[in-house]
Amino acid sequence: MSQANLDSIRRAYAKDMARVSASPDPRLEDVFYRVHREDFLPPGPWKLLVEGRYVETPDANPRHVYRNSAIALDAGKGINNGEPFLHAMWIGAVLPQAGEDITQIGLGMGYYSAILSLLVQPGGCLTGFEIENDLAEAARRNLADFRNVSVIAGDAVSRELPPSDIIYVNAAVAAPPESWLAALRPGGRLIFPWRPTVEVALAMLVTRAAKGFEARPLMSSWFIPCAGASSPKGGTLAPNLSTARRIRSLHLNRERAPDESAVAIYEHIWFSSAGVRGYNGSKA
């Protein structure tokens, strides 16, 4: 394939990502175009996830990776570079801004880390956690030219996160640790794949508002489990798909006891179908 043809494919892909994201940020198309997906994958041919099974590309031509498919990073462990449409929608939901700080949990080999890091320039940084040592090393190599990125090999559940405007989680969580919520700055956004039961698999967007945590379910979302946070520890109420889609807020148990609006209750937090309320009980 000629370089011109590959460039056209990359440009069409970037336009699709910007369209799917529904983001008002005009930089998004340019960033998806500038960051080459094949630079953050194992050597081709690649294994594309198609309807639940891996299909190998016929060769190592980079044109194969510019489609809406998850691509294996470690097929044996089921670790993939996730679907571009899904991540474009997530990025559109959290709207990274110049000067913001992002914590990413689960870098893989760094593709979406590179995109996110460019969207917070100038002035912002990305701190990434990757529990798989070989992937963390690959991410460090791949992101060496992205000066506002630091990679930590280890889990993000047992340690304190840096103060963050965005926490971007690429592994399925039953209940977000309280430490993640504590790391969110005012106006900060936490996006994660919520998997409290076998039936429920939704992307969840949590925003730190003036009087609490707003929560909003987004699209369906399937990810591998997040080590240390994939079990509904201390859970006394589990959601079903219908009640999960009605969630509008999240609360810390130590600050407010669960009430009749509770949809899911865990050891330290609970989700509510009611909006965030002020201290006097009125809706914010």
The pLDDT value recorded for residue 230 is: 84
pLDDT of residue 278: 44
pLDDT at position 2: 67
Residue 231 confidence (pLDDT): 82
* Residue 280: predicted pLDDT: 33
Q: Can you give the pLDDT of all 284 residues of the chain as single tens digits? A: 567 799 999 999 999 999 999 999 999 999 999 999 999 999 999 999 998 899 999 999 999 999 999 999 999 999 999 999 999 999 999 999 999 999 999 999 999 999 999 999 999 999 999 999 999 999 999 999 999 999 999 999 988 899 999 999 999 999 999 999 999 999 999 999 999 999 999 999 999 999 899 999 999 988 988 888 888 777 889 999 999 999 999 999 999 999 999 999 999 999 999 998 643 333 33
| Structure confidence at residue 277 (pLDDT) | 65
Tell me the pTM.
Answer: 0.94
CA angle 202, 169, 173 (to 5 degrees): 55
